[in-house]
Amino acid sequence: MTHKLITLLGENGEPYNFEVLGVITVGNRDYAILLPENDDGDEACVFRLEKDNQGEDILVEIEDDEELNSVAMAWKELNKEKLN
């Protein structure tokens, strides 16, 4: 399966490439699951999808551990057959 690649800019404008593993809805919010392109680990990054003032999608870093854990558990449950 081929995943979409996106580039995000860091705080200092440095580019980081990510593979989009998927988008999941938890509660009434959508989350993007991203894997760093040049990372040998299997640690994905999770961002909340929101709209900016112009109605464009933006990715927001999740700072709340409970929210992050809820999304991680939902993602694992959704993909448990692939993980086994």
- Chain centroid to CA 52: how far? 17
Count of structural domains, the chain: 1
Residue 80 is predicted with a pLDDT of: 81
Residue 65 is predicted with a pLDDT of: 95
Q: Give pTM, 2 decimals.
A: 0.84
Residue 18 is predicted with a pLDDT of: 93
Can you give the residue range of the structural domain that contains 37? 4-83
Cβ atoms of 39 and 21 closer than 8 Å = no
Residue 82 is predicted with a pLDDT of: 66
Flag residues of the chain having pLDDT under 70: 1-3, 39-41, 81-84
Residue 84 is predicted with a pLDDT of: 54
Strand order in the sheet with 15-26: 4-9, 15-26, 29-36, 45-51, 57-61
> Residue 14: what are its φ and ψ, rounded to 5°?
-75, 140
Cβ atoms of 23 and 33 closer than 8 Å = yes
For 69, the 3-state DSSP assignment is helix
Residue 10 is predicted with a pLDDT of: 86
